[in-house]
Amino acid sequence: MADDDYVYDEVTGEWRPASEMAAEAAAASAVQDAAGNVLADGDSVVLVKDLKVKGAGQTLKQGTVIKSIRLTDNPEEVDCRHDSIKGLVLRTEFVRKR
């Protein structure tokens, strides 16, 4: 075993395998919906709350299906389209994977 295979985890105070630490970091940075499901490009989502859309003058109702989302650089937001609203960005806390 080489010394560089282990990394000190300051949270737990233990030396842990670097591959294990990298896997946990990747899982933490994955985009998750309100229920904790991992989202990917092209997924369909359902709104879990009524949302007033600023600038469009309308409300998207709970249960509305949004098809073909795109992930953004921010893991808390997804880019999507609705029939009447283009360029819509939703927070992941208000959507659930379909």
* pLDDT 10s digits, 49-83: 999 988 888 899 999 999 999 999 898 999 998 88
pLDDT on residue 13:
92
How many other CB atoms are there within 10 angstroms of residue 67's CB atom?
13
- pTM of the complete model: 0.70
The answer to whether residue 3 scores a pLDDT higher than 60 is no
- The alpha carbon dihedral of 21, 22, 27, 29 has a sign of positive
Residue written as token pair 């989502």 = 45
The answer to whether residue 34 scores a pLDDT higher than 50 is yes
Domains of the chain listed by start with CATH number: 1-30 (no CATH), 31-98 (2.30.30.40)
